[in-house]
């Protein structure tokens, strides 16, 4: 059907774009060229990645679009990439959000535009590459390489405490991932294989699995992040520029969930079974605790950052239920959160660009001056709460159905979290949007312009589409998830 390496082209197209940008000299005239070439590259990548979706074979649970080359002569490391139902939407999420990020930074990034675009395109390459890797070493390399552009994005274009936030982000996640490196080497030593595909199953003794699981947990729990490893997230989110927060919340947090599905459940089923109570406890604490913390925030971005932790708690519950509804729900919740929280950060960015503050008390009564903004913000806010008809509902609903099979205490915890999410989101919306305009500075604020419409309306449409037609997302991933569940149950049948 296709005999050119579609997936490699998708991975490396942004990198090629960034190399082209590297050779454009930056000044006032050419900075537009830089922006346009970055935007066109990322849109081209998005269109190519859509062809992945259209050509994807729903009836094939294993990897498609595979490419495999010998990479190291002395070890069984391959340049092996492919897409299955789990990674398909993660790749689409990355390629969808990158052009939006570039568009969102069109006018509010004023210094070092060239480096900014370079960082984003490089980030896109490593994100896609990470989700597409079938070789663990390749996965690891992309997984850690993500830190480099993100560190620069937070550190150079961030807010007041950007240096603290960027160091915390880098070192926290690095500490998690180096332990994963040790685990990867131990896996290789025991099996002589580095293929994610070949290692799906139960290949390690129980004791080994426990240690491997803990090492992977250290890495993914920091990344996703789970309570109590989440403290880097509010700092990073608050200090990052808008587009940085978008990509951080939209894609980078999903790396943790993706890793749990692939590694913890897929490769270490017995240990997963052993640790499920721990995960459930941590997730419920995360949901309730961070929701309450979110309620007390005075900074809009920080509030959304804490709400991310709470939503990711639902994702980890869904993943570690390891049944059809739970995993599908977790995947839906990840995709939905990727879009909704990205959109919420963009909405914050819109008013931040105008007023240069994120204090909730500063705002109020925006609906009078910005009706369109109030409308799209409402869609995303409801998506975050999980109103039926929006994307958030599908994921939370499926997770709760799955949780009934496991334990009703978990259901109570998760449902309580959903109620709390309605509380803090509606309260936030009320304080910002409704009421009278009391702050004189707000009396001249203008509604969203064309560029912002271009960013926010596609996101709003996709929130609705995901809520109304969840099956177009659930069908492609169903068989791949079933395969993972079958492996898991086979391992734990004894």
Residues near another protein (CB under 8 A) are 71-75, 112, 114-115, 140-141, 144-145, 147-148, 151-152, 155-156, 162-163, 166-167, 170-171, 174-175, 178-179, 181-182, 185-186, 188-189
Nearest-10 crossing angle of helices 471-491, 85-104: 130
For 385, the enclosing helix (H) or strand (E) is: helix 371-385
Half-sphere CA count of 461, side-chain side, radius 13 A: 6
Give min distance, CB of 145 to another protein, in A. Answer: 6
Of residues 142 and 393, the one with the C-beta less far from another protein:
142
Of residues 96 and 169, the one with the C-beta less far from another protein:
169
Of residues 219 and 480, the one with the C-beta less far from another protein:
219
Strand 64-70 to 78-83 pairing: antiparallel
Of residues 71 and 406, the one with the C-beta less far from another protein:
71
Of residues 186 and 422, the one with the C-beta less far from another protein:
186
Distance CA 35, CA 160 (A): 25
Of residues 239 and 273, the one with the C-beta less far from another protein:
239
Distance CA 305, CA 308 (A): 5
Give min distance, CB of 419 to another protein, in A. Answer: 39
Give min distance, CB of 187 to another protein, in A. Answer: 10
Q: At 286, is the secondary structure helix, strand, or coil? A: helix
Q: At 70, is the secondary structure helix, strand, or coil? A: strand
Give min distance, CB of 77 to another protein, in A. Answer: 9
Give min distance, CB of 474 to another protein, in A. Answer: 34
Given phi > 0 = left and psi -120 to 50 = alpha, else beta, which region is 446?
beta
Token pair of 448, please? 């969203």
Neighbours of 486 (CB within 10 A): 11
> Which has the closest alpha carbon to 66: 138, 114, 16?
138
Contact call for residues 45 and 127 (beta carbons, < 8 A):
no
Half-sphere CA count of 277, side-chain side, radius 13 A: 1
Give min distance, CB of 194 to another protein, in A. Answer: 11
Contact call for residues 311 and 468 (beta carbons, < 8 A):
no
User: Cα 135 to the chain's mean position, in Å?
Assistant: 21
Give min distance, CB of 35 to another protein, in A. Answer: 17
Of residues 185 and 292, the one with the C-beta less far from another protein:
185
Give min distance, CB of 188 to another protein, in A. Answer: 8
User: Cα 283 to the chain's mean position, in Å?
Assistant: 17
Give min distance, CB of 446 to another protein, in A. Answer: 32
Give min distance, CB of 158 to another protein, in A. Answer: 9
Alpha helix (H) residue ranges in 203-323: 206-223, 232-239, 242-247, 253-259, 266-267, 269-295, 300-321
Token pair of 466, please? 């995901």
Give min distance, CB of 383 to another protein, in A. Answer: 35
Partners of 70 in the beta sheet? 78
Partners of 79 in the beta sheet? 69
Of residues 26 and 197, the one with the C-beta less far from another protein:
26
Token pair of 349, please? 């960015």
Q: At 67, is the secondary structure helix, strand, or coil? A: strand
Token pair of 189, please? 């030593």
Of residues 71 and 106, the one with the C-beta less far from another protein:
71
Give min distance, CB of 149 to another protein, in A. Answer: 11
* Percent helix, percent strand, percent coil in the chain, to nearest 5: 75, 5, 20
Give min distance, CB of 422 to another protein, in A. Answer: 39
Partners of 78 in the beta sheet? 70
Of residues 75 and 404, the one with the C-beta less far from another protein:
75
Distance CA 42, CA 118 (A): 12
Of residues 56 and 211, the one with the C-beta less far from another protein:
211
Token pair of 102, please? 């570039």
Of residues 185 and 468, the one with the C-beta less far from another protein:
185
Of residues 126 and 330, the one with the C-beta less far from another protein:
126
Contact call for residues 463 and 390 (beta carbons, < 8 A):
yes
């Amino acid at each position: 059907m296709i005999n050119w390496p579609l997936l490699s082209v998708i991975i490396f197209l942004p990198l090629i774009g960034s190399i082209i940008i590297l050779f454009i000299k930056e000044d006032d005239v050419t900075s537009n060229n830089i922006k346009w070439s970055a935007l066109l590259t990322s849109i081209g990548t998005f269109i190519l990645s859509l062809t992945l979706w259209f050509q994807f074979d729903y009836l094939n649970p294993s990897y498609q679009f595979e490419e495999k080359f010998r990479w190291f002569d002395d070890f069984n490391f391959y340049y092996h990439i492919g897409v299955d139902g789990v990674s398909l939407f993660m790749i689409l999420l990355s390629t969808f959000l990158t052009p939006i990020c570039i568009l969102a930074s069109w006018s509010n990034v004023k210094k070092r535009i060239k480096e900014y675009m370079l960082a984003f395109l490089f980030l896109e390459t490593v994100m896609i590459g990470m989700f597409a890797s079938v070789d663990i070493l390749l996965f690891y390399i992309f997984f850690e390489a993500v830190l480099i552009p993100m560190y620069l994005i937070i550190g150079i274009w961030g807010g007041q405490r950007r240096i603290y936030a960027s160091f915390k982000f880098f070192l926290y996640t690095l500490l998690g991932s180096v332990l994963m490196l040790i685990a990867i080497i131990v896996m290789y030593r025991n099996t002589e294989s580095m293929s994610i595909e070949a290692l799906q199953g139960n290949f390690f003794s129980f004791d080994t699995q426990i240690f491997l699981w803990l090492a992977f947990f250290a890495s993914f729990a920091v990344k996703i992040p789970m309570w109590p490893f989440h403290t880097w997230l509010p700092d990073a989110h608050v200090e990052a520029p808008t587009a940085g927060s978008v990509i951080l919340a939209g894609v980078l947090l999903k790396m943790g969930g993706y890793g749990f599905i692939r590694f913890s459940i897929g490769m270490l089923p017995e240990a997963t079974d052993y640790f499920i109570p721990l995960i459930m406890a941590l997730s419920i604490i995360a949901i309730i605790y961070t929701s309450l913390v979110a309620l007390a925030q005075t900074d809009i971005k920080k509030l959304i950052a804490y709400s991310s932790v709470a939503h990711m708690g639902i994702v980890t519950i869904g993943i570690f239920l390891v049944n059809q509804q739970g995993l599908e729900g977790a995947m839906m919740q990840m995709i939905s959160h990727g879009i909704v929280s990205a959109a919420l950060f963009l909405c914050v960015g819109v008013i931040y660009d105008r007023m240069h503050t994120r204090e909730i008390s500063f705002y109020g009564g925006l609906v009078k001056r910005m009706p369109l903004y109030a409308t799209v913000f409402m869609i995303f806010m409801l998506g975050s709460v999980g109103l039926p008809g929006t994307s958030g509902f599908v994921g939370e609903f499926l997770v709760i159905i799955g949780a009934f099979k496991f334990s009703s205490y978990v259901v109570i915890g998760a449902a309580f979290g959903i109620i709390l999410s309605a509380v803090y989101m509606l309260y936030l919306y009320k304080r910002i949007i409704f009421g009278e305009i009391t702050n004189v500075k707000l009396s001249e604020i203008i509604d969203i312009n064309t560029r912002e419409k271009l960013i926010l309306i596609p996101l709003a449409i996709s929130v609705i589409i995901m809520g109304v037609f969840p099956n177009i997302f659930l069908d492609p991933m169903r068989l791949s998830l079933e395969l993972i569940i079958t492996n898991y149950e086979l391992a734990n049948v004894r």
